[in-house]
Structure 1
Amino acid sequence: MYAEEKIKVARLSIISNSILTAGKLGVGLSMNSISVISEAIHSGLDLIAALIAFASVRESNKPADDMHRYGHGKFENLAAIIEAVLILVAAGFIINEAITKIHETAQIKSLGLGAVIMGVSALMNLFVSSKLMKVAKKSDSPALAADAWHLRTDVLTSLGVLAGIGLIKLTGWHIVDPLIAILVALLILKAAYDLLRESLGSMLDVRLPDSEEQVIREVLHSYADRFVDYRNLRTRKAGPQRYMDFNLIVPRGKKIITTHTLCDSIERDLHQHLPGVEVIIHVEPCVPEAGDCDICRARIKFQTEDINCSCKVCDKCYDR
């Protein structure tokens, strides 16, 4: 449903990161500023991340096929993990270069030009990341969300470098430059950690968040008077796609068509509350000997002799 919009904003991210990477690198080299060069590296990784996000979004939108019968949603999670690893590599490089620069006395030139490129970078990335985040939330796309957080981090680091340039201009303390670069790297490491934690969770089939599982329970509770119980609820996520399954315990005397209609209603409500969810319901008859009848809310005197059920007091064991 959001395929075209996702591809469009991913393409916008590629264009903006290409412009910023070239601009920051050129200015950083002319200034001899490790903090500005570190920002160029950061933007270069954002460009790679944008390319990966673009490719993964296109792939994840493909329908299920014979080799991927659950669809291609996890391509987005894989993309987010690759992006996080790239961030870790970049952060290590920046810290190494910054530590080397601390012991040097190189003068930083063209501070005004550096301030301009950092200001433009912050504004451009704020605009593009806002668009990415908006589409990511609508489509529940981890790849676009990862790309958006990359750019949000870039906004913060650009503002940090801008502040460092201003401080150098005011004080002449050139050691501020590598210190700001180290701060940039630490912010990048935090972004990498968050991306890895969330994306690895989806790859390892971690359950849905508590808030979403609570929505599922509320939907099931709204049908509580039409089944005995539900058990073994399991949830997971692959890219923007959610999956869930559970056992639905129904009165053993219910007709198949009645039970099927109930399952259809439950699935329809779950789709309305959690877009993109795939639901599997395994229906089981109640077992009076196991105490299932104790769960039933209403009980009446046994009246239907033609139903072979030892539960003779449970109202929900029979179609009326």
Structure 2
Amino acid sequence: MFEREELLRYYETMVKIRKFEMEAKRAREAEEILGNVHLYVGEEAVATGVCACLTPQDYIESTHRGHGHTIAKGADIRPMMAELYGKITGCCKGKGGSQHVADFSVGMLGANGIVGGGFGLAVGAALAARFQNSDAISVVFFGDGASNRGTFHESANMAAAWHLPVIFVCENNGIACSTIHATGGQQAVLGLSKRAVGYDMESYVVNGNDFFAVKAAMERLVKRARNGEGNRCGFLECQTHRALAHNVNDAQEVYRDPAAAWAKFVADDPIRNYERRCLAEGWLKQEDFGAVQTHVDELIQDAKQFAIESPYPDPEELYTDIYD
């Protein structure tokens, strides 16, 4: 049974992700921000359901599509928006931009512009937690395309062999950039969770557009990772949908029908799914959703103004935060 405030908090997280992304889309198209912007629209239930099971001490490692993960882990959207604008008040002092957002204060170790670049970092974080005698666990988000990289197999093998508390969360939207995986030909196994068998991992396949399904499966994996014996790794395959193009400037009409992709998203929108479930169960009322939407609109506008009004870094900042 869920508490009302708990349900409202999860809903606010998903709405905050959606509205943050749509504002980032607008700003990129208006050239207010520069560089690639990869949007998380349509996958909000995955990040929210996974991070709902984590503590601030737990670690997550993200992808180039990392805004949603960062928000779900609890990061402040004001410095996040400023980071997209390249401002000194950004969470990475304006040096990372969209693809490298990070917030160590909430255990978000960073988005990653390299496909499959987060696997080793997540395993390293779990190993560090062991040396620190911490019960923190590590979670790495990745897409179906990244599951084909050697870094996945190397990291999964090490994590399993060393019994590290790492949970591999695959956001399987069936398309890696412009490569349609759902048709086959790019990978031998379409059911990606089958790969967990080779590393003796507990695994689940869920509807990634259903927050409650994601959270329920993740809770089981977190319990084993945090308190289990032997192989504490887990694999969660969330079957979801990328509503928009690979990035804001991607010509997706070359490889798929944008209208059809949007229609598919609308029919299985994770936020609408959440609303329908809460209404059907009598947990929340329609006016609750409206109040949250209004509140989040105010938060997004505040973050936007904060970013616009913040200064750019001084040129001397180029030489700071450098490791010899």
- TM-score (norm: length of structure 2): 0.27
Larger Rg: 1
Q: Comparing both chains, which one has the higher relative contact order based on Cα–Cα distances under 8 Å and sequence gaps of 6 or more?
A: 2
- TM-score (norm: length of structure 1): 0.27
Higher helix share: 1
